[in-house]
Structure 1
Amino acid sequence: MYKFRINFKEGIEENYRLIAIDYWKIEESRFVHTIVEIAQKYGVSHMALTGIVQRNATCSKFVGVCSICQEEIWQTASNRTSFNSLKKKSQCEECRELERQKWLDQVEARNRGLRQRETKQQLQQKGLNQIPPSTTLKFSLARNTNKTKPKQPEYSGTFVLKQDVVIKAGVKYLYGGWELTDGSINLQFKPVEEIFPTQQRDIREEPGFIGRQVEQLYNDLMTINEERDKNDEPPF
């Protein structure tokens, strides 16, 4: 059995109020009067009758009790077709919207956590894969065997660094060059302070102990160079 209530427009004319009462009258879950009967009773057409009711009176139907807030749930219709389509509900619109928003917040929190973990993993992986910058610059000068003009360079070519190299202004660099069997030259530039704290000049001018140590460094590099010279590889 339906539980319903008629909602009249404020200031409704009495004749329209009577029409609406007959239109929305329900007994044993059925409308008491047919549209034809009401139209004939008040001397109006079917279309006019529908318009009068929609403009002046709606009907609210009890469809359940909210399982969250325990409030009664009522839904409103402006005509019989809409009224008959109203179904039972277990949640009111307010609680339903709150539950939907709560679910969306949980989904967003979960997705945000996943994104943060992915970002952290990516940063960690990037940190593992990242090669720290070097302070030593080394490359090879290839002899230009196709030289046809005097002004063309004796050495030319390209090279690719395997990692970033930091070259700073005001820093003294030790430089060295080794000629290979094919005529190319391997070059290296390394900060002197990484070897010994000294001032940059010809190694023969380096005072005492420092000069001998720098010469020893060159001797060691020359030994490495001789071992790799067969493959024309850079000495370090």
Structure 2
Amino acid sequence: MSVNSIAGGAAALSAVAPPQTRDDPRYLQVVDTLVSPDATPTQREHAYDLVAGLESADDTPLTDAVLTERAAQAIADDRTIPVAVSAVAPLVPPGTALGPFPSSDAGALEMMTYSNPLSIKANLENGGLIFRDPDSDQFFVTTPMGGTLDGFNPGQVPQPDDLTLVACYHGHADYSKADGSRTDKAGDEFNSDHFSAQDKSLADRGVWGSVIYVSTPSGDFRKYDAATRQDTVIN
């Protein structure tokens, strides 16, 4: 081997970028907070890079709170990193699509686990929509938007152009009298632990997809599938 070829090889090696280290404790903490434990190592590395890029883009240090909030939006917008719903949902606007999930049921369960206590605490319905990505066959569910004592309007929820609507979910608030005063299960005047006839009719007509989910004051999460006319508890 000639001297020139040795020198050329060394130059080529020196031009290769060293492996990127992902060991900044601040960024790791944000990833641990916002990313689902089910995420793969590659997905976690991608999340780390998104977080690190937020400070480098601003060219100024961000407080931990600001960094976490911006990272939540960046990870949600990326749509390739499974999120920790309970951590991300409070940091992004109502109606933000979160995911990805392997199924509509999985997304609904995760989001209703977060949204049902909010619905009960406020004694107001809330809800959102569930979408399928036709390219990846994965599912996304929106963070809850507010409703009334006895209703929720899915029409207020933003619908991304590149996702397909498949289902909706909502929470039935707390056990209540017709005037909105709280009561117990025996005194409830809204049949809150079950779908209303209108709920099932919307699914039967495919208005917001052919599947509808509801979370109830009892803690049950129910699913109605218009294709089978089956009403089941899924949690």
TM-score grouping bracket, smaller chain normalisation = under 0.3
Q: TM-score, normalised by structure 2?
A: 0.23
**Structure with max Cα Rg:** 1
Q: TM-score, normalised by structure 1?
A: 0.23
